[in-house]
Amino acid sequence: GEIQQKKMKNVSQIFDTKLPADSVESIQIQNGEKYIVVGTYHLNESSNDTGIQTRDGNIQLFKFNDKNKTLEYESEIPSFGVFDLKWCPHSVNEKYLVAQAATDGSMQLFQLSDTTNNKKELIKITESEKEEAMMSSLDWNSRKINTLSSSLSIISSFANGKIVLFQLLESGKLEKLQSWNSHSLFGNEIEAWIASFDCWNPNIFYSGGDDAKLKGWDVRESSQTPIFTSSHHTMGVCSIQSSVFSEHQLMTGSYDDTIIVWDSRKMKSPLSQLNIGGGVWRIKENPKNPNLIAIAGMYNGFHVLRLDKSSSELSIISSYKEQKSIAYGVDWVDDNYIASASFYDHSLHFWDFQDHKLIIE
């Protein structure tokens, strides 16, 4: 059973993001056009007299050219270092919004806008008040259920173990609704790496932390007690994806190199798990095919997994190892095309997963 890699038909497109890249998120807008944002993050080693380290970054915008199957650079906007980005999946008052988890502890909100030269750009519209730690991830409550704009909310995780729920008000402001001290170790603050809604029931959200715990929470309960705690992962839990295709299906990824498939009603034991040889930083379902999952595998590149619906088993069917640094950002842009961002080599690659399929001889 030799596993060999099919030879590439098309060499991928490669962009130099200049700064270390760690986040990629795509959106299809109403007229069918697709855009992606790429987030970057750079630590300035004590660049000022106080010796305090500062972090900066930017958000770069690309458009998908459907005819040529290529990405085209549109524009960029400077910002604080980016830890995570998420598009609101639907328009809000006919505008498309992207939220940024920023290293200064705030959430920044941008709107996709037209420029005079027929390109698109991001314009900052608001920001939340700062928390006392870096914001590490965020998720909108409307991935599956197109909530009325009056009840749009965003859950976010922080490097001090906190989870904060924000609401986007009609006025365009972000209001802090509630917070949880979700993850700690022996009473000490520890990173909450990820917070993500159950997209079928946005009253429920999940969190993962550096304490290796995966927890479920109900926003309707004011208590600080989770509805469940799972200790199945053996290292920090850094990714969580609730399936838009299959209610109760949850996938989680960890620094322990495994991705786990769960039924959210039976969190005592997983349906299946797979070791992918690197930490699982992001998990993305193919927008059309529920059985294809793209993952960013940190020190072991990017992969596409196939999910067997009947057994819930995962298997690697395609691997992309062209990027030479930490694989952090990944998303599907089209049925077969993936955009992937890696860190210290500050690169964005765009590739067809079918050109990198594994063939078992």
Q: What pLDDT score does 178 carry?
A: 94
Residue 149: phi and psi, rounded to 5, are -60, -25
The strand pair at 21-28 and 42-44 is best described as unpaired
Closest CA to 249 of 206, 208, 281: 206
Q: How many CB atoms lie within 10 A of CB 158?
A: 26
Order of strands, edge to edge, in the sheet holding 282-285?
Answer: 282-285, 292-296, 302-307, 314-320
Residue 159: the pLDDT is 97
Q: How many whole angstroms from its chain centre is CA 92?
A: 21
Q: In whole angstroms, what is the distance from residue 166 CA to residue 143 CA?
A: 16
Question: In this predicted structure, what is the pLDDT of residue 52?
Answer: 63
pLDDT at 268 (0 to 100) = 95
Contact 137, 157 (CB under 8 A): yes
pLDDT of residue 316: 97
Tell me the mean pLDDT per 10 residues along the chain, length 361: 55 92 96 97 71 82 96 95 96 94 96 92 96 96 77 96 95 94 92 97 96 96 91 98 97 98 97 98 97 98 96 97 95 97 96 88 48
Alpha-carbon torsion 29, 81, 165, 210, what sign? positive
What pLDDT is stored for residue 131 in this prediction? Answer: 95
Structure tokens at 125: 């519209």
Residues 6+ apart with CB under 8 A from 347: 14, 15, 16, 17, 21, 323, 325, 341
pLDDT value for 50: 60
What span, in angstroms and rounded, lies between the C-alpha atoms of 233 and 267? 12
Give the pLDDT confidence score for residue 145 in this predicted structure.
Answer: 80
